[in-house]
Amino acid sequence: MAWRRPLLLPHRRQAGAALLVAMILVTVVSTLAAGMVWQQWRAVEVEAAERARTQSAWILNGALDWARLILREDGRTGKMDHLGEPWAVPLAEARLSTFLAAERSENADDGPEAFLSGDITDAQSRYNLRNLINADGKVDPAQLTVLQRLMANTGLSSGLAAQIANGLQQALAQPPDAQAPLMPRSIEQLGWLGVDEATRAKLAPWVVLLPDPSTKVNLNTAPREVLAAVIGVDVASAQRLVIAREQSPFDDKSKAANMLPATGSPAPKFDDTDVKSSYFEVRSRLRLGDQVLEERSLVSRDSNNNVQPIRRQRVNLALTQAGAGTAAR
């Protein structure tokens, strides 16, 4: 007699089906719960990032307003701008975390650490590349000579001066040429004229791009290399001016002219110099937790001591450094 497998009882079949349904329901509920937790975590992260961005914007705006106030007061009380004034003193990194809380409490230190630092520099302590192009849209030979001297004083190629001048002339041409490069507004954008990154880094301490095409160099703040190029003297003679202004800043450019004899060929020229500035650069750096934000602003001060920002650039230094490290590896 052949062996036959015993049939499962009905209640056993129902129990197996119920167990299978229960396992499916548990899987579905777990998946939905995990999705909800992830969505909640993502919402919290987005809210935290938005809160940090808003806090950073408020602090950096406040830092810029603080710098504008200092420059406004300086314009009211001073007839000249020099490196011994309050605006020229950098702000050391200061902790601001305690001010982020609405009121002091036990939880005031629970937030991320916030530190602020910054400085104000005279933009007219450098040579304005915009001076290269005159009102007729042509390269000014005298200004091109100034830039060539500056290149020689700083160890850069003199051919770079002609490259920059020709690029600016094409960018400012009227009517604009479809093949012409865009007009750069900062040293970083000189790459549009074919200037590589390494050369731009070497140029940054000596030149600037300001909207005014006839900006003069400040005798009280410019380095000796820039003074020598603009005045048309050797670096040693320009160093004499730097030493003299440290003891007593020039309140009139005629006093600086009297220190250098009007001899030689060509004779020193002070037409493109001044003792007061209208353009300044404000750098504010905020360290908030793991993020490091830096804002660089160009501001102008008019004859009525109104200080207005012309352009602002915000850089996430943490991401920039991380990207540089990745590229280096």
Q: Widest CA span of the chain, in angstroms? A: 134
Q: What is the per-residue pLDDT for 96?
A: 75
Indicate left, alpha or beta for 16 from its phi (over 0: left) and psi (-120 to 50: alpha). Answer: alpha
Structural domain span for residue 69? 45-96+112-122+278-328
The whole-angstrom separation of Cα 1 and Cα 197 is 94
Q: What is the per-residue pLDDT for 327?
A: 36
Reduced to 3 states (helix: H, G, I; strand: E, B; else coil), residue 169 is: helix
If asked whether residues 117 and 185 sit together in one domain, one would say no
- Give the helix, strand, coil percentages of the chain, each rounded to 5: 50, 15, 35
The whole-angstrom separation of Cα 213 and Cα 131 is 5
Which amino acid appears at position 27 of this protein? T
Q: What is the per-residue pLDDT for 9?
A: 53
Q: What is the per-residue pLDDT for 328?
A: 35
If asked whether residues 132 and 268 sit together in one domain, one would say yes
Q: What is the per-residue pLDDT for 325?
A: 44
**For residue 93, what is the enclosing H or E element?**
strand 91-95
The whole-angstrom separation of Cα 122 and Cα 35 is 55
For residue 306, what are its two tokens? 């109104």
If asked whether residues 256 and 283 sit together in one domain, one would say no
Tell if the pTM clears 0.85, that is, is over it.
Answer: no
**Of 228, 254, 274, which residue sits at a domain end?**
274
If asked whether residues 116 and 138 sit together in one domain, one would say no
- Residue 36, number of CB atoms within 10 A of its CB: 10
The whole-angstrom separation of Cα 301 and Cα 167 is 29
Q: Note whether residue 12 is domain-resident.
A: no
Residue with tokens 């750096």: 285
The whole-angstrom separation of Cα 177 and Cα 194 is 17
Reduced to 3 states (helix: H, G, I; strand: E, B; else coil), residue 67 is: helix
Residue with tokens 């001073």: 78
Q: Note whether residue 191 is domain-resident.
A: yes
The whole-angstrom separation of Cα 273 and Cα 122 is 14
User: Exposed (0-12), middle (13-18) or buried (19+): which is 323, by Cβ within 10 Å?
Assistant: exposed
Q: What is the per-residue pLDDT for 102?
A: 46
Q: What is the per-residue pLDDT for 71?
A: 94
Residue with tokens 């020099």: 82
Q: What is the per-residue pLDDT for 126?
A: 97
Output the tens digit of pLDDT for each of the chain's 329 residues. 555 555 555 666 666 677 777 788 878 778 877 878 777 777 776 776 677 677 778 888 888 999 999 999 999 887 899 999 999 999 888 887 655 554 455 444 555 678 889 999 999 999 999 999 998 999 999 999 999 999 999 999 989 999 999 999 999 998 888 888 999 999 999 999 999 999 999 999 999 999 998 899 999 999 999 999 999 999 999 999 999 999 999 999 999 988 887 666 677 889 999 999 999 999 999 887 777 889 999 999 998 999 999 999 888 876 555 444 433 33
Q: Note whether residue 40 is domain-resident.
A: no
